[in-house]
């Protein structure tokens, strides 16, 4: 397959590397010129528990990406989805499939309109990855990914992608209940990401704090109640287990929201905590702790924004 990774930060590079290892024709697409230049000059440096690799994957600005692609994997921030896909529209053909592995709720609707509904896929990944410098990505943790057609239909392409990712070293599987999996990941992120961003600390720090643990537990329970009210009948126990894994196995991982706040960038808190609160309140369910974290991160964004 001819594959474009649209938004080639830490997670995008990790997945691009997997498709590359599986023998596919991968192009990393991003707007970070320094990052692209480093990859093109020295290869993508990927540091995992298996060792350090230097992978010769071409990296391009959107305007320079030559399509049409068979697959575009979208890893941009949720608020950049529309603009990013518009910038790559010249490389999206009549047979191109789109796959969102982004954070937050509602990514299926953001992709719809760029291709027909039967070529939209969504997924959820619980893999850690950090961009440690231009062209350099570190991923020292275990995880998995799930994916499926966003609006139902033939899962053949999704199955091919899961097999390719697994062959490339990132375990992935089909999940007909993918929207439940997405809800679970959003709830996990709503519990962990804001606290990392607000404390400027990694999950290991949160694990040592009784106050943080109580807050995390409350957000998970509020999120599950919101999911249930919206028809996603998920269990809270696996999400609580994931938060524990985050605080132990991924203790030093810098959550994306922490990276954004440290860099003075807008976060995805609206698509994570904000989306949970809005989905909950639309059904008459309260989510006060999740709302408070949402507002506190928005205050951080206001503080960092140019005056």
Q: For residue 304, what pLDDT is reported? A: 76
Q: What is the pLDDT of residues 259-284, one digit of tens each?
A: 999 989 999 999 999 999 999 999 99
297, 270 Cβ separation under 8 angstroms: no
Strands 69-74 and 136-139, bridge-based pairing: unpaired
Mean pLDDT, residues 57-70 taken together: 97
CA–CA separation, 283 and 177 (whole Å): 21
Enumerate the domain spans of the chain: 2-176, 179-304
CA–CA separation, 251 and 243 (whole Å): 10
- Residue 97 buriedness (CB in 10 A; 0-12 / 13-18 / 19+): buried
Whole-number Cα distances in Å, 199 to 116, 135, 195, 243, 306: 42, 28, 6, 17, 22
- The CATH superfamily holding the domain 2-176 is NAD(P)-binding Rossmann-like Domain (3.40.50.720)
Mean pLDDT, residues 174-194 taken together: 97
> Following CA atoms 239, 245, 247, 253 in sequence, which dihedral angle do they give, to the nearest 10 degrees?
-110
| pTM over cut 0.85 | yes
For domain 179-304, give its CATH number from 3.30.565.10, 3.40.50.1820, 3.30.70.141, 1.10.1040.10: 1.10.1040.10
CA-closest candidate to residue 24, choices 127, 144, 156, 165: 165
Instruction: Please count the CA atoms within 13 angstroms of the CA of 246 that sit on its side-chain side.
Output: 28
User: Using 50, 70 and 90 to split pLDDT, how confident is the model at 230?
Assistant: very high
The average confidence (pLDDT) of the chain is 95
Express as a percent the part of the chain with pLDDT over 70: 99
Q: For residue 307, what pLDDT is reported? A: 46
243, 192 Cβ separation under 8 angstroms: yes
CA–CA separation, 297 and 212 (whole Å): 15
252, 204 Cβ separation under 8 angstroms: yes
Q: For residue 118, what pLDDT is reported? A: 96
Mean pLDDT, residues 109-122 taken together: 96
């Amino acid at each position: 397959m001819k594959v474009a990774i649209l938004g080639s930060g830490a997670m995008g590079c990790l997945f691009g590397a997997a498709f590359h290892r599986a023998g596919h024709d991968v192009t990393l697409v991003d707007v970070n010129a320094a990052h692209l230049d480093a990859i093109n000059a020295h290869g993508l440096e990927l540091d995992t528990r298996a060792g350090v690799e230097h992978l010769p994957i071409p990296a391009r600005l959107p305007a320079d990406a030559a399509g049409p692609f068979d697959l575009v994997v979208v890893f941009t921030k949720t608020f950049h989805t529309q603009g990013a896909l518009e910038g790559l529209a010249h490389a999206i053909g009549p047979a191109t499939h789109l796959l969102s592995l982004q954070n937050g709720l509602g990514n299926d609707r953001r992709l719809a309109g760029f291709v027909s509904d039967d070529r939209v896929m969504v997924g959820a990944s619980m893999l850690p990855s950090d961009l440690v410098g231009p062209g350099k990505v570190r991923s020292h943790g275990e995880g998995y990914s799930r994916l499926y057609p966003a609006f139902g239909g033939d899962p053949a392409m999704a199955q091919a992608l899961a097999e390719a990712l697994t062959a490339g070293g990132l375990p992935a599987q089909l999940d007909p209940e993918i929207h439940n999996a997405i809800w679970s990941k959003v709830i996990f992120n709503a519990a962990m990401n804001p606290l990392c961003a607000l404390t400027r600390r990694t999950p290991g720090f949160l694990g040592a704090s009784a106050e943080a643990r109580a807050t995390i537990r409350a957000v998970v329970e509020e999120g599950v109640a919101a999911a249930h009210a919206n028809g996603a009948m998920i269990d809270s126990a696996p999400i609580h287990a994931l938060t524990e894994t985050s605080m132990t196995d991924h203790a030093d991982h810098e959550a994306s929201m922490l990276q954004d706040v440290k860099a003075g960038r807008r976060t995805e808190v609206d698509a994570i905590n904000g989306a949970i609160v809005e989905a909950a309140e639309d059904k008459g369910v309260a989510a006060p702790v999740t709302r408070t974290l949402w507002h506190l991160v928005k205050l951080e964004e206001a503080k960092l924004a140019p005056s």
